[in-house]
């Protein structure tokens, strides 16, 4: 390729998946960290490993534009040719993930500010304010320049906008952000009266008389207005989404190739990825297990199923995971034998049509030099390299899985606004948190071999026999009506504690908790009785509850479990309500795992939901297309669906 931009029309038909046959396999490629003579070896080894795609130029801004408006394409042109020569497709990044020092020095107002007013310097990465005009303009310009230069190159098959938006700076509290927040609020509320009503500013003399008085929830003597905080989460997600849109549109002006940006589902709270999922051509996700999680494969599966939900059940791409240890946990555990393979196959089973890693070649310098790569520091005579090569070969043999649907008839209700709202401060108990509630219910089903889809309460719930709402604190009228309709028309619903409590402004629904769900659950709650830290109380039917209890009256429902002791002996802890043609269960505490499993067994039975296959403990099963994926996370051999799988092994069974 020459240094001249191409004059051919790069536009092809719009697509939602890159033109690469079979499952994608590869990783982030950062050739600028290595001398040029290494690149040919990289390409050769990529071929050996079965790599068919790499993400390129994610952090290349400083090299591509060493001075404002001066581009140096030569080195990237040469890398592109090396990859093209080896038949490796390119997921070309816009190189905007981290502005270079010259940019930050020239535009110091673009540096982000924390809630206590500290300005963050350059010297790490991602040091920009999401509402900075100078950053947005510079990033969009570079994105457009990259797209213009490479859109017509046959090796380039998709675009990678920025990188993990919000990873380090999800909220910026500077004056530019304050101005953007006010503009966002004006669009939401129209006038200050509406804002004052929504925010409940009659409380604590908070009434605003002038838009200029409205600021981000900066550090303040005590609890900041909860609705202001909730709107701040909404605004911050939208501010970053606007940045994404600006870059995407700059790329789209030159190319119709698929465009994505990598998400961080499941643990990342600041971005409303359900909204973001509508703005990308294909959903891609980065997932790293927490090594010290007692069951990392459960959290991985949750992330994969959630990502499929963000993709509205379309195939998605695992843009990053690790071959072994990462560098950013307190203790970075290496993957145990078989884990790399099982993790990759679990993602594929749950809808991924590609497995990629951070990064191709483990770095020699910089903050991530202890992060594993596909090609480790030790080179090719290593266990890790052999596993990477074996995985490439195995995935190549699974090409027929691409595009096939994942079987699930249980929907787990997921809502970012509810997550933001339930974890605001000054609540009845800090122990009622979103992910913990979701994880417990999710894990119970994972252990039963039941696959779930993640779905928003206001989206299509029609295909689900059973809906689970482990934590739905904030619920709109439309959401509540959809759940009611699901049950009335014969569906089953299981609701967890502290759900249906507030409306979209975080105002309590009056007349008894859980306001939005009182009727469907057939209960009325007078008062919450959270427990002290670490306390649990017994249930009359056996088992126990922790965290939470409620002074609950039956209003059509029947008691299924009752408190034996604690603050409310004799009152119901779990209820069941026949409503229309269906059934709604209310679990008004955090049950011990076995008791929760029992309640879910009853609900699954009632809803007629069967597992993908009956499984022994520690074995994961998922049905995708005509294959049954069996992942044995135990150390012992198991037999599932007539197939014996070694300890730590996996099998993909046709038919199953
Ligand atoms: C994220 C980033 C990568 C890298 C990895 C390390 O996923 O996108 O650039 O920092 O984390 O785990």
Ligand 1 contact, 91 CB (< 6 A) = no
287 close to 322: Cβ distance less than 8 angstroms: no
State yes or no: is 164 an active-site residue.
Answer: yes
Report the distance separating Cα 175 and Cα 182, nearest Å. Answer: 11
pLDDT digits (tens, 9 = 90+) for 406-415: 999 999 999 9
* pLDDT tens digit sequence for 215-239: 999 999 999 999 999 999 999 999 9
484 C-beta closer than 6 A to ligand 1 = no
Q: For residue 425, with 0-12 CB atoms within 10 Å meaning exposed, 13-18 middle and 19 or more buried, which class applies?
A: exposed
Q: Which of 555, 546, 553 is nearest to 570 (CA)?
A: 553
User: 327 a known binding residue?
Assistant: no
Pairing assessment for the beta strands 352-357 and 619-624 based on DSSP bridges: unpaired
CB 107 near ligand 1, within 6 Å: no
CA distance 421 to 509: 14
- Give the tens place of pLDDT for each residue, 65-74: 999 999 999 9
What are all long-range contacts of 63-66, with beta carbons under 8 Å and residues at least 24 apart?
Answer: 63/32, 64/95, 64/142, 64/146, 65/95, 65/100, 65/142, 65/145, 66/100, 66/102
- The pLDDT score that the predictor gives to residue 15 is 62
What's the average model confidence in pLDDT over 571-586?
Answer: 98
Q: What is the pLDDT of residue 350?
A: 98
pLDDT greater than 90 at residue 524: yes
Residue 12, pLDDT above cutoff 70:
no
Bin 169: left if φ > 0, else alpha if -120 < ψ < 50, else beta: beta
- The confidence band for 9, taking pLDDT boundaries of 50, 70 and 90, is very low
Label residue 188 exposed, middle or buried (CB < 10 Å: 0-12, 13-18, 19+).
middle
Q: Show Cβ contacts of residue 627 under 8 Å, excluding neighbours closer than 6 positions.
A: 349, 401, 404, 652, 653, 654, 656
What is the C-alpha to C-alpha distance for residues 455 and 463, in angstroms, rounded to an integer? Answer: 11
In this prediction, residues 157-186 reach a mean pLDDT of 98
Mutate to test the pocket of ligand 1, among 54, 164, 268 (most ligand atoms within 8 A of CB): 164
How many angstroms from the chain centroid is the CA of residue 250? Answer: 25
Nearest CA to ligand 1 atom 12: 326
Both tokens of residue 617? 């403990």
Q: Which segments of 218-260 are extended strands (E)?
A: 259-260
Percent of the chain predicted with pLDDT > 90: 97
Domains of the chain: 261-400 (no CATH), 410-607 (3.40.50.880), 619-654 (no CATH)
Q: Whose CA is nearest to atom 11 of ligand 1?
A: 358
State the residue for tokens 């020459």. 2
Average predicted confidence (pLDDT) for the chain = 96
pLDDT tens digits, one per residue of 617-630: 999 999 999 999 99
Residue whose pair of structure tokens reads 């040469």 in the numeric block: 78
**pLDDT at residue 355, as a whole number:** 99
Answer yes or no: is pLDDT of 13 > 60: no
Residue 496 pLDDT exceeds 80: yes
492 assigned ligand-binding residue: no
Of the listed ranges 11-15, 80-84, 457-461, 485-489, the one predicted with least confidence: 11-15
Residues 6+ apart with CB under 8 A from 268: 166, 167
Q: Residue 532: beta bridge partners?
A: none
Query: Secondary structure of 304-331 in the HEC alphabet?
Result: HHHHHHHCCCCCEEEEECCCCCCCCCCC
pLDDT at 2: 32
Check residue 25 and give its pLDDT. 99
Q: Is the pLDDT of residue 8 over 80?
A: no
Token duo for residue 22: 């079979």
Whether residue 76 has a cis bond before it, omega within 30° of 0? no
Give the orientation angle of helix 383-396 with respect to helix 37-49, to 10 degrees: 60
CB atoms within 10 A of CB 234: 19
Question: Which band of pLDDT confidence, cut at 50, 70 and 90, is reported for residue 6?
Answer: very low
Q: What is the pTM of this model?
A: 0.97
148 is catalytic: no
Distance 358 CA to ligand 1 centre (A): 6
pLDDT at 54 over 90: yes
Tell me how far apart the alpha carbons of residues 632 and 649 are, in angstroms, rounded to a whole number. Answer: 5
Instruction: State yes or no: pLDDT of 337 exceeds 50.
Output: yes
Q: Is 59 in the pocket of ligand 1 (CB under 6 A)?
A: no
Q: Which residue has the tokens 């096939």?
A: 404
Q: What is the pLDDT of residue 579?
A: 98
What are the CA-CA distances from residue 541 to residues 564, 600, 623 (Å)? Answer: 8, 15, 35
What's the pLDDT tens digit per position in 270-311?
999 999 999 999 999 999 999 999 999 999 999 999 999 999
């Amino acid at each position: 390729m020459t240094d001249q931009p191409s004059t051919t029309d790069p536009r092809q038909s719009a697509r939602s998946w890159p033109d690469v046959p079979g499952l994608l396999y590869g990783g982030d490629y950062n050739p600028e960290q290595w001398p040029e003579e290494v690149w040919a070896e990289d390409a050769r080894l990529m071929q050996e490993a079965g790599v068919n795609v790499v993400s390129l130029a994610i952090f290349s801004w400083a090299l591509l534009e060493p001075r404002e408006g001066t581009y140096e394409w030569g080195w990237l042109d040469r890398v592109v040719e090396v990859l093209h020569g080896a038949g490796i497709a390119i997921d070309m990044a816009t190189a905007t993930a981290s502005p270079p020092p010259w940019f930050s020095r020239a535009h110091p107002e673009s540096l982000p500010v924390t809630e206590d007013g500290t300005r963050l310097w350059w010297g790490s990465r991602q040091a920009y304010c999401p509402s900075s005009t100078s950053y947005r303009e510079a990033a969009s310009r570079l994105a457009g320049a990259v797209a213009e230069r490479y859109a017509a190159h046959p090796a380039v098959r998709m675009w990678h906008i920025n990188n993990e938006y919000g990873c380090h700076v999800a909220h910026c509290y500077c004056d530019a952000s304050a101005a953007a927040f006010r503009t966002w609020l004006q669009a939401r509320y129209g006038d200050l009266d509406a804002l004052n009503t929504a925010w409940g500013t009659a409380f604590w003399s908070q009434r605003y008389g002038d838009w200029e008085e409205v600021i981000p929830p900066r550090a303040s003597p005590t609890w900041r207005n909860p609705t202001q905080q909730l709107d701040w989460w909404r605004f911050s997600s939208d501010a970053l989404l606007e940045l994404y849109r600006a870059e995407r549109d700059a790329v789209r002006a030159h190319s119709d190739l698929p465009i994505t940006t990598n998400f961080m589902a499941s643990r990342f709270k600041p971005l409303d990825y359900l909204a973001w999922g509508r703005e990308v051509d294909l959903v891609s996700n980065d997932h790293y297990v927490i090594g010290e999680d007692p069951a990392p494969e459960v959290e991985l599966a949750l992330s994969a199923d959630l990502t499929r939900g963000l993709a509205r059940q379309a195939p998605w791409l695992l843009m990053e995971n690790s071959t072994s240890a990462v560098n950013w946990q307190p203790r970075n555990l290496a993957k145990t034998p078989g884990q790399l393979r099982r993790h990759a196959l679990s993602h594929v089973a749950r809808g991924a049509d590609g497995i990629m890693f951070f990064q191709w070649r483990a770095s020699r310098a910089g903050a991530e030099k202890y992060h594993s790569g596909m090609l480790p520091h030790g080179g090719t005579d290593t266990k890790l390299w052999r596993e990477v090569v074996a995985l490439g070969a195995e995935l190549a043999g699974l090409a027929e899985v691409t595009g096939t649907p994942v079987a699930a008839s249980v929907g787990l209700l997921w809502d970012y606004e509810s997550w933001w709202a339930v974890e605001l401060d000054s609540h009845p108990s800090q122990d009622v948190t979103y992910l913990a509630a979701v994880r417990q219910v999710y894990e119970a089903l994972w252990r039963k071999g039941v696959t779930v889809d993640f779905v928003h309460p206001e989206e299509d719930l029609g295909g689900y026999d059973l809906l689970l709402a482990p934590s739905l604190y904030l619920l709109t009228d439309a959401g509540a009506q959809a759940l009611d309709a699901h049950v009335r028309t014969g569906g089953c619903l299981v609701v967890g504690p502290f759900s249906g409590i507030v409306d979209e402004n975080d105002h309590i629904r009056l007349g008894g908790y859980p306001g939005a769900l009182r009727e469907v659950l057939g209960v009325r709650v007078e008062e919450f009785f959270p427990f002290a830290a670490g306390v649990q109380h017994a249930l009359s039917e056996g088992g126990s509850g922790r965290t939470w209890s409620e002074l609950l009256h039956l209003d059509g429902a029947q008691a299924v479990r009752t408190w034996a002791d604690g603050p409310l002996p004799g009152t119901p802890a779990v209820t069941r309500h026949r409503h229309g043609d269906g059934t709604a269960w209310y679990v008004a505490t955090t049950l011990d795992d076995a008791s929760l499993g029992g309640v879910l067994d009853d609900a699954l039975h009632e809803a007629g939901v069967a597992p993908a296959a009956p499984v022994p403990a520690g074995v994961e099963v998922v049905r995708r297309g005509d294959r049954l994926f069996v992942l044995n996370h135990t150390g012992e051999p198991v037999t599932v669906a007539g197939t014996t799988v070694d300890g730590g092994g996996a099998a993909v069974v046709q038919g199953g």
